[in-house]
Each structure stands twice: as structure tokens, then as C-alpha cells.
Amino acid sequence: MVKNKKEKYSHGEEFSKKVGIKESRRIKARQKKGFSILYGLSMFGMVGWSVTIPTIILTLIGIWLDRKWPGRFSWTLTLIVMGVILGCLNAWYWVRKESRGD
């Protein structure tokens, strides 16, 4: 419930500003060249491979280490976790680089 006219107009102006900002962002995004569905899919693929490749490589190294030097802990599991962490950092780097336009 609105108590007075000033408060009513203040709220309306605030709403108009928010709508204007969102609309200007939408227009700017549509005018940006080079972004398409294929670009989005390629970025998705790049992120996936950025995580997958280090994970697979470190998993294979872990399997080899487990066969060569068996121990109380599993090299394979340890290196899988390290591969996922390394891959996520790698993907984060590439996404950040692409979003800045470097």
C-alpha cells in the first residue's frame, strides 16, 4: 500500500531505471558481433575438454603408478581429483579470458 504520491513516483522511477538498464544490456548483447549458437557450443565444448583432458591424463598416470608402486592409498583416485581440480582451473581461465575479450 502506497502511503503518498512522492513514494509512489519514487518507486515507479526506480522500476523504470531498472527496466532501462536491462533493456540497454539486451540491445548491447544483440549488437555484439561474433556471438552465435555455434560460438556458445564451441565454448561449452572447450570447457568440457579443458576438464576432461587433464583428468584422463592424470588418471592414466595414476593407474600406472598403482601398478608400479602399490601402496596404502590409491594414486589413481588421488590423481583423478587433482585432474578435475586442474581442469576446472584451466576451464575457469579460458572462460574468464574469453569473457574479457583478450
To the question of pTM greater than 0.75 for the whole model, the response is no
d(C-alpha 39, C-alpha 60), whole Å: 31
On the 0-12 / 13-18 / 19+ scale of CB atoms within 10 A, 53 is middle
| Strand residue runs (E) in 4-97 | none
19-35 pLDDT per residue, tens: 888 888 777 766 666 66
C-alpha angle 29-99-18 in degrees, rounded to nearest 5: 45
52: which 3 cell numbers?
A: 576432461
Residue 98: pLDDT over 80: no
